[in-house]
A and B are shown apart, each in its own frame.
Chain A
Amino acid sequence: DGGITQSPKYLFRKEGQNVTLSCEQNLNHDAMYWYRQDPGQGLRLIYYSQIVNDFQKGDIAEGYSVSREKKESFPLTVTSAQKNPTAFYLCASSRDRGNYNEQFFGPGTRLTVL
């Protein structure tokens, strides 16, 4: 059963703590993405990775970090430097680096910072 998994579904953290969100895909996709979703706004790109050991900043990368050590995995760390981390975080993947490939999304992680 192929797809993208994100864990956990809900995450609570105290202000000032770093937290890592997991994203795993078994679709054999080269490209992976992290988005942030806030009420009333579109998805905003945080980071993306075209291939293992390579990643690029998106539109709102400040306060976040990623790694891509394996093709299947693209974890996102929300650091204490992120000013407003409470949001719904979505991971996605697409088949390759070419155009015209739709992105497949995971179920999301809702992060609440107390």
Chain B
Amino acid sequence: GESVGLHLPTLSVQEGDNSIINCAYSNSASDYFIWYKQESGKGPQFIIDIRSNMDKRQGQRVTVLLNKTVKHLSLQIAATQPGDSAVYFCAENTGGFKTIFGAGTRLFVKA
């Protein structure tokens, strides 16, 4: 599960470096995946999504990679900026209204 919580995995990167945040999902039947960014005290914001018929999708400075064989999802952020500091979590959907949210990773960007 996720949340802007106290005991989340943490990733610390230098400003300008690339960040890679990983997520292991639980259901092999999941066919739609989303990455969200959540800043402290705010609601989650959509970053990028990917369907199971793809293994890579790129957005502006972000790339999502999907490995269905090992049920693994990753979010790559290029040229990480201080404004990228937040909690990032993945979500999986097997169709319908049930979305399972991961626990999240806290990203710290050092100036």
Contact = CB atoms under 8 A, between A and B. Distances in A.
Interface of A: 4, 6, 31, 33, 35, 37-45, 48, 50, 56, 88, 90, 92, 97, 99-100, 102-108, 110
Interface of B: 1-8, 31-32, 34, 36, 41-46, 49, 51, 89, 93, 95-104
Given A99-B96, A108-B41, A43 B101 contact: yes
Contacts of A100: 32, 49, 51, 93
Given A99-B32, A100-B51, A40 B44 contact: no
A43 B51 contact: no
Main DSSP-derived SS at the A contact region: strand
Given A42-B104, A90-B44, A100-B51, A37 B99 contact: no
Contacts of B7: 39-40
Contacts of B44: 43, 90, 105
* Residue among B3, B36, B42, B99 having the largest count of chain A Cβ atoms under 10 Å: B3
14 contacts: A6-B43, A37-B2, A38-B3, A39-B3, A40-B1, A42-B2, A42-B3, A42-B101, A100-B32, A102-B46, A105-B43, A105-B44, A108-B42, A108-B43
